Structure 1
Amino acid sequence: MTHTFFTLQQNVYKADHEPITVEDVNENNVSSPALRRLISSAPGASVGVAAAYRADCSLSTLAFATLTRALVIHFFAANKQNPQQQRKNGQEQQPLVSRGRILIQDQILCDTGIKLYGYRIDRIALALFRDFSLRINGAVDVLSVATSNRRSLQAIMNTLGGEVLLQKDNVKTLFAHREGEATSKDVALQAWAACRATTLEDMTLRFAAISRIDTKTMPDIHLSALSKISRDAEILESLKPTKVINNVKADFNSKKGNVNLECTRFSTRIMKSKTQVIHIETLDGDKRSTITGRAGQISGKQAHINVQGVVNASGKVLSVTTVGKEDLTAAESDREDVVLKALQGTITLTEHPFFCSIWAPSLNIPWPPLDAPTASFVYYPTGQLNHSQYTAVERIISQANRDRVLLIQGPPGTGKTTVIAASVNSMINTGPMERTVWLVAQSNVAVKNIAEKLDKVGFRDFKLLVSKDFHYDWHEHLYERLEHCFIRSDYFGGGPVAVSRLLINEHTDKHTRVILCTLSMLSNPRIEEFTRQVPVQTVIFDEASQIEVGDYLPLLHRFQHSLQKMVFIGDDKQLAPFGQDDIGQLRSVFEFPHLRKRAQFLDTQCKLASRLHPLIVSILSSRPHANRHWQLYFPACIQSQVDDRARHH
Structure 2
Amino acid sequence: MSLSSSTVIPKLFRECSPEIIFEILSEDSLDARHLRPFLDTVMSEGAIGISASYRRHCQLGAIAFSSPTRVLVVQLASGDLSLGSNCSKRNRVIRARSLLERQILCNANYQKYAFQMDRIAVALYLDMALRIDSAIDMLSVSPSDDRRSPQALMNAMGGESTLHQSNVKALFFSNQSRPASNSDLVQQAWAACQASILPHMAVRFHALRRIRTNIIPDEHMSALSKICRDGELLDSLKPLSVKNDVMPDITVKMDNLKLTCSRYPTRIRLSAQQSLQIETRKGVQVSGRAIHVKGREARIKIRGSFHGDEVKSVRTIGGIHPVVTSAFQSRMAPK
Q: TM-score, normalised by structure 1?
A: 0.47
Aligned-partner Cα distance in 2 for 1:339–1:160? 20
Aligned-partner Cα distance in 1 for 2:270–2:103? 46
Equivalent in the alignment of 1:31: 31
1:181 matched to 2:179:
yes
Aligned-partner Cα distance in 2 for 1:42–1:322? 43
Aligned-partner Cα distance in 2 for 1:341–1:174? 29
> Which of the pair is proportionally richer in strand?
2
- Among 322, 327, 336, the alignment partner of 2:316 is 322
Which digits, 9 at most, give the CA deviation of each residue in 1:276-299, with x for residues without a partner? 11111113xxx4311221123334
Aligned-partner Cα distance in 1 for 2:199–2:80? 45
SS in structure 2 of the partner of residue 288 of structure 1: coil
1:40 matched to 2:40:
yes
SS in structure 1 of the partner of residue 186 of structure 2: helix
Which digits, 9 at most, give the CA deviation of each residue in 1:460-505, with x for residues without a partner? xxxxxxxxxxxxxxxxxxxxxxxxxxxxxxxxxxxxxxxxxxxxxx
Equivalent in the alignment of 1:240: 238
Amino acid at match of 2:23: E
Equivalent in the alignment of 2:87: none
Q: TM-score, normalised by structure 2?
A: 0.89
Equivalent in the alignment of 2:70: 69
Once the 2 structures are TM-superposed, how far is the Cα of residue 80 of structure 1 from its aligned partner? 9.6
* Structure-2 change in CA distance of 1:12 and 1:4 (3 Å): same
* Structure-2 change in CA distance of 1:337 and 1:160 (3 Å): closer
Aligned-partner Cα distance in 2 for 1:297–1:138? 40
Quick check: which has more Rg, 1 or 2?
Answer: 1
Which digits, 9 at most, give the CA deviation of each residue in 1:590-610, with x for residues without a partner? xxxxxxxxxxxxxxxxxxxxx
Once the 2 structures are TM-superposed, how far is the Cα of residue 233 of structure 1 from its aligned partner? 1.0
- Among 276, 288, 291, the alignment partner of 1:296 is 291
- Check whether the contact 1:244–1:323 (CA below 8 A) recurs between aligned residues: yes
- Check whether the contact 1:54–1:179 (CA below 8 A) recurs between aligned residues: no
- Check whether the contact 1:137–1:213 (CA below 8 A) recurs between aligned residues: yes
Once the 2 structures are TM-superposed, how far is the Cα of residue 31 of structure 1 from its aligned partner? 1.5
Amino acid at match of 2:150: L
> Which of the pair is proportionally richer in helix?
1
- Check whether the contact 2:211–2:328 (CA below 8 A) recurs between aligned residues: no
Which digits, 9 at most, give the CA deviation of each residue in 1:499-553, with x for residues without a partner? xxxxxxxxxxxxxxxxxxxxxxxxxxxxxxxxxxxxxxxxxxxxxxxxxxxxxxx
Aligned-partner Cα distance in 2 for 1:140–1:307? 38
* Structure-2 change in CA distance of 1:13 and 1:48 (3 Å): same
Equivalent in the alignment of 1:54: 55
- Among 128, 133, 140, the alignment partner of 2:136 is 140
Aligned-partner Cα distance in 2 for 1:254–1:38? 57
Aligned-partner Cα distance in 2 for 1:229–1:217? 19
Amino acid at match of 2:315: T
1:312 matched to 2:307:
yes
Amino acid at match of 1:322: T
Once the 2 structures are TM-superposed, how far is the Cα of residue 251 of structure 1 from its aligned partner? 5.5
- Check whether the contact 1:249–1:317 (CA below 8 A) recurs between aligned residues: no
Amino acid at match of 2:161: V
Once the 2 structures are TM-superposed, how far is the Cα of residue 182 of structure 1 from its aligned partner? 0.6
SS in structure 1 of the partner of residue 58 of structure 2: coil
SS in structure 2 of the partner of residue 99 of structure 1: helix
1:19 matched to 2:19:
yes
- Check whether the contact 1:273–1:295 (CA below 8 A) recurs between aligned residues: yes
Once the 2 structures are TM-superposed, how far is the Cα of residue 17 of structure 1 from its aligned partner? 2.9
Equivalent in the alignment of 2:277: 279
Amino acid at match of 1:146: S
- Check whether the contact 2:28–2:93 (CA below 8 A) recurs between aligned residues: no
Aligned-partner Cα distance in 2 for 1:144–1:35? 29
- Check whether the contact 1:59–1:131 (CA below 8 A) recurs between aligned residues: yes
- Check whether the contact 2:118–2:326 (CA below 8 A) recurs between aligned residues: no
- Check whether the contact 1:51–1:187 (CA below 8 A) recurs between aligned residues: yes
SS in structure 2 of the partner of residue 43 of structure 1: coil
Once the 2 structures are TM-superposed, how far is the Cα of residue 57 of structure 1 from its aligned partner? 0.7
Aligned-partner Cα distance in 1 for 2:56–2:291? 32
Once the 2 structures are TM-superposed, how far is the Cα of residue 23 of structure 1 from its aligned partner? 0.4
* Structure-2 change in CA distance of 1:180 and 1:302 (3 Å): closer
Equivalent in the alignment of 1:5: 5
Aligned-partner Cα distance in 2 for 1:16–1:159? 16
* Structure-2 change in CA distance of 1:6 and 1:202 (3 Å): same
SS in structure 1 of the partner of residue 293 of structure 2: strand
- Check whether the contact 1:6–1:23 (CA below 8 A) recurs between aligned residues: yes
C-alpha RMSD over aligned residues: 2.3
Equivalent in the alignment of 1:223: 221
Greater RCO, CA 8 A, separation 6+ = 2
- Check whether the contact 1:10–1:17 (CA below 8 A) recurs between aligned residues: yes
Amino acid at match of 2:270: K
- Check whether the contact 1:26–1:74 (CA below 8 A) recurs between aligned residues: yes
Aligned-partner Cα distance in 2 for 1:108–1:301? 50
* Structure-2 change in CA distance of 1:184 and 1:259 (3 Å): same
Equivalent in the alignment of 1:264: 262
Amino acid at match of 1:75: L
- Check whether the contact 1:51–1:124 (CA below 8 A) recurs between aligned residues: yes
- Check whether the contact 1:244–1:322 (CA below 8 A) recurs between aligned residues: yes
Equivalent in the alignment of 2:86: none
Unaligned runs of 5+ in 2: 84-91
Once the 2 structures are TM-superposed, how far is the Cα of residue 7 of structure 1 from its aligned partner? 0.6
